[in-house]
Structure 1
C-alpha cells in the first residue's frame, strides 16, 4: 500500500479513533496507559499536514479512555468515555481541564456517540447496563435507558434523532424509540437476538454458499454501526468473529448478510459514508478488513442469507486493532485505524477496494 501515514501514541494504547466532522485534516484518538487496565488516559488531537501527522493538542485524564465523539455543534470540542464511569468534554482552545464533566455511570463508560441529526445531544453506554442521553450544557443526564447487562456500544440512527440502538454482553441488539411513552418498556421497541436463527418459517435459511444457517451460540456483541444509506440496516460484531447485518423492520427474519474471516473477536465496525455496501472492521486478530455485504448484487432467492465478501485486508498493526473510522471528505476512501501497538495508521481504502 503506497500511501500510509503513521503516528505513535508513545506510552498509551489507543482504543478509538474519530475523524473530525468538520475537517478532513483532523483526527482524535482516545488512548489508555497499560492497555486500559490501570493508569491514566490521554486524548490526542492530531492534524494532518504536508509534514505528516502533528500533535495539535493532548489532554490527560486520571482514568483510562475507551471511546470519543466529536461535537456536532462546536468544531473544537469532543467528549471522551472514561474508565471511572464519567464522560469529559474538552475544548481545543482550553488547556488541560475538561470544560464539562458528566458522571452518573457506576461502571466503566465504554462508548459515546453524538446525535448527527439534531446535534444537541449525545449518548453513552456503560458496563453498568445503561445507556444515558445527555445535553452538552447540563451535567445531569436527560434520560436513562436500562439494558440490564454490560453495554459495549450505543448509537443514534443517522437519519432519525429519536432512534437509539445498543448492543451488549447478552447477545442482543436493542432499538429504542424516544417518541414512545417511557412507561412502555422504557422506549424499547425492538430486540433482536443476534445469534438466534430466524424465527419466521419452518425451514432454516441457507447461506449463499449453500450451508444451512442455524444460528450460533450466544456471545458478547462488542460493536455495531448503522448503515449511512439504508437507515434501517445495522451491522453487529463481537466475540464470535462474525459480522452480521440486520434490518430492524424484520427483527425475526435473521441476518441479511454474514461476513466471516476474522480469527479473533471483532472490536469495531464502521459503515462507509461513501458507499451503501462497504464496511470496515478492526479485530483482535490485528487486522483491519474491508467488506462488501453484497447489497449491490442481484437479489437472492427467498430464505437465503447473503454471504458478504472480504474485499480488502490491512495487516500493518502488530497488536490488537481496536478502532477504525472513515474520513467524511475527499475522494471517499481514507480510513484511520488504531491498535494496542501504540500506532495510528491513516490509509486509503481505495487501494484495497480496487474501485
Structure 2
C-alpha cells in the first residue's frame, strides 16, 4: 500500500464545497465540478470548469476556466456523451439543467421533474441521447441500477413490458415504473453509491454507511423474500473491501483495469483498491489523504491510466497519479 510521494495538482474554490466531479469524455485535460455554498445545506451553487495543464518545470497544475452560478446547490453532474461542450447538473431545487460551456451565464434547457433535491445524474454511454437522474423525492428517471437509504440495490430492466408507457400522452417521466427486476439487500444501513464495472458487464460495486465496499455479480444473486436472508448484509458478495473509517460516499471502477476501484469517504481520504489480493494479501493499494474535510467525489481520468481526481468539502480539487 502506497501513499502519495508528490503533492497533487490543486484547485481551491473558497466558499464552495464540492459534491461531485467528472472528466470530459472528449478532452483528456478537462474536468467539471458540482459545488455548493454552505456545504450544500442552503445557498447558491456553482458549476466549475477546470483544465489540467503544467506549470513551469512540468509540474501538473489546475486552472479554473469559468464557472456558472445557480440559485441552489449542485449535487452532481455528467458530461454529455454526444456533445463535447454540454453538461447536465442535478440541483437542490429538484431541477436538471443542461449547460453549453461555449455560452455564457444560463443553461440551454431546464427540466423540473423532481419535487425534492435532485441528488444524482449520469449519462448513458450506450444509448447516448439519454441521461438518468434520481432524487430525494424517492423517484428515479430512466435508471438501470439504484442504491437507497433502505440498504438495497435495485436493478431495473427497461425491456420488460412493465416499462412500456401506455396511452398517447404517456412517457417515461409521467408513467411511474416501480417493478425492479432484482432487489439485493446489500447492507443493514444506507447504501450511498454504486458503479458498474467497465469490463465485466454483470458486476457492480456498492458502498455506504457501513464503511465497506462490496462487489456483486448479478448472475449470482436472487430476488424476492426467499433470497433476503442469504444475501443480507453482503452475504454473497464477490469481494468485501474494508478499511475506511467512516461512510464511503463515492466509488468508481477504473476505466483501464477490471480489478481496480477508487473510493471517497467521510474519513477525509480517497483510496484505491484491487479485487485481486496483492502478494501481501491486502486489497488496499493506495491512500490519498491531503484533504482536510469530507471527500465526497472521485473520478479516474479516461485517457491517462493511473490519474485520479478527488474533491471534497474543503473546497479543494486534487489531481494525482496513483
TM-score of the superposed pair, with normalisation by structure 1? 0.78
Task: Indicate yes or no: 2:65 matched with 1:56.
Answer: yes
Equivalent-residue separation in structure 1 for 2:282 and 2:201 (angstroms): 19
Match of 1:276 in 2: 258
Judging changes above 3 Å, is the alpha-carbon distance between structure 1 residues 287 and 187 closer, same or farther for their aligned structure 2 residues? same
SS in 1 for 2:81: coil
Q: Which residue in the other structure is 1:85 paired with? A: 94
Give the whole-Å Cα distance in 1 for the aligned partners of 2:8 and 2:92.
31
Cα deviation for residue 50 of structure 1 reads: 2.4
| 1:251 Cα offset (Å) | 1.4
**1:290 is matched with which residue?**
272
Q: 1:342 aligns with which of 311, 315, 322?
A: 315
Conservation of the 8 A alpha-carbon contact between 1:276 and 1:295: no
- Normalising by structure 2, we get a TM-score of 0.86
What's the counterpart of residue 248 of structure 2? 266
1:308 offset after TM fit, Å? 6.6
Question: Equivalent residue for 1:249?
Answer: 219
How far apart in 2 are the matches of 1:72 and 1:338?
23
3-state DSSP of counterpart to 1:35: helix
| Cα distance between partner residues in 1 of 2:67 and 2:127 | 28
Partner of 2:171: none
Q: How many residues align?
A: 288
Contact kept, 8 Å, 1:47 with 1:53, in 2: the verdict is: yes
The corresponding residue for 1:200 is: none
Question: Quick check: 1:265–1:283 contact (8 Å CA) kept in 2?
Answer: yes
Which of 88, 103, 118 does residue 112 from structure 2 map onto? 103
Please name the residue that 1:175 is paired with: 155
Task: Note the residue ranges of structure 2 that are not aligned, 5 or more in a row.
Answer: 56-60, 165-176, 223-230
State the Cα distance separating 1:188 from its structure 2 match: 1.9
Contact 1:82 1:110 in 2 (8 A): yes
More deviation, 251-260/56-65: 251-260
Which is worse superposed, 114-123 or 183-192?
183-192
Instruction: Please say if residues 277 and 295 of structure 1, whose CA atoms lie closer than 8 Å, have aligned partners that are also in contact.
Output: no
Once the two structures are TM-superposed, the CA of residue 236 in structure 1 deviates from its matched residue by: 0.3
Q: Which residue of 2 aligns with 1:324?
A: 298
1: CA distance, partners of 2:6 / 2:134: 38
8 Å Cα contact 1:277/1:296 also seen in 2: no
Alignment of 1:1-355 (within 5 A): 1-2=5-6, 4-51=8-55, 52-133=61-142, 164-182=144-162, 186=178, 188-195=180-187, 218-252=188-222, 254-294=236-276, 309-330=283-304, 332-349=305-322
3-state SS in 2 of match to 1:46:
strand
The structure with higher relative contact order (CA 8 Å, sep 6+) is 2
